[in-house]
Amino acid sequence: MRRHKINWKVPKGAELTELDKKVLYYQDRGHLVPTRQLIKTPEQIEGIRRSGVINTGVLDLVEKEIHAGMSTADIDKMVYEYTKDHGAIPACLGYEGFPKSCCTSINEVVCHGIPNEEEILEEGDIINVDCTTILDGYYADASRMFIIGKTTPQKEKLVRVAKECLEIGMEAAKPYSFVGDIGHAIEKHAKKNGFSVVRDLCGHGVGLEFHEEPDVEHFGKKGTGMLLVPGMVFTIEPMINMGTWEVFIDEEDGWTVVTEDELPSAQWEHTFVMTEQGLEILTH
């Protein structure tokens, strides 16, 4: 077995807890384990949960208002105003130069689509709206797919299977299982339905920062990747493509990720906390 660096360090003179013993068991056998800093305190988890309530409210509002004929800039305005009115901050705005408060990704756009006035939703479009909220320094991150009016059976299936992939990935994530277990389950379900999984982007730890460890890939092998320990907070956000898994970034804006074959893509995302009983969604 591959030997990983020692991440889990018990303070000198400290008595070993049951959590220490469990994590050290896996570390001693060469598995990649988190650092103690990735284990959130109950107070931190509650803060992320409160941020998640606002993030959910944002997406609920989008779900209520989204329709053919509106621009993606209209969506962005809703996200900004709702977030600010609830005392929070849209994390996307200004992040590494990103100019808007959310990402709006239509049809063949996989993720990181930039809202603008000229981009008008049309009947049959599928769109992912991705929002991240900061409340009192705590981050919560989620996205949903929306079908505009009536679309094709193929697009409907893609949206449905992408959501199933998220749910199956969630079920695969057990305490003291591995990140690879999540990816393995997602990839298996996507392939069974004739779809592919984007490999160049992944889920991630979240909570005290926008992006933390671990990387949560949506493909892989069981028993690989980081050990999932109670107290860890992370997203699962599979990006499922109708055609090839390969993607490219639009050279003009440097952000928009598009499928290489320009066939549609769909994505769903939640922020989760690992508990002793399994995953709990923090962005209902």
Q: What's the CA gap between 161 and 193, in Å, rounded?
A: 8
Domain ranges of the chain: 31-281
Q: Say whether 134 sits in a helix, a strand or coil.
A: strand
DSSP per residue, 14-77: PPPPHHHHHHHHHHHTT-----GGGS--HHHHHHHHHHHHHHHHHHHHHHHH--TT-BHHHHHH
Query: Sorting pLDDT into bands at 50, 70 and 90, what band is 1?
Result: low
Does 269 count as an annotated binding residue? yes
The DSSP 8-state label assigned to residue 218 in this structure reads: S
The pLDDT of residue 13 is: 86
141 is in an annotated binding site: yes
Residue 211 annotated as lining a ligand binding site: yes
Q: What is the mean pLDDT of residues 70-74?
A: 98
- Which pLDDT value is given to residue 6? 87
189 labelled binding-site residue: no
Share of the chain above pLDDT 70, in %: 99
Q: Is 15 annotated in some ligand binding site?
A: no
Among 233, 201, 214, 217, residue whose Cα is nearest residue 112: 201
**pLDDT tens digits, 86-98:** 999 999 999 999 9
pLDDT in tens, 152-190: 999 999 999 999 999 999 999 999 999 999 999 999 999
Domain 31-281 bears CATH identifier 3.40.640.10? no
* Residue 20: per-residue pLDDT: 95
Phi-psi region of 190 (alpha: psi -120 to 50; beta: other; left: phi over 0): alpha
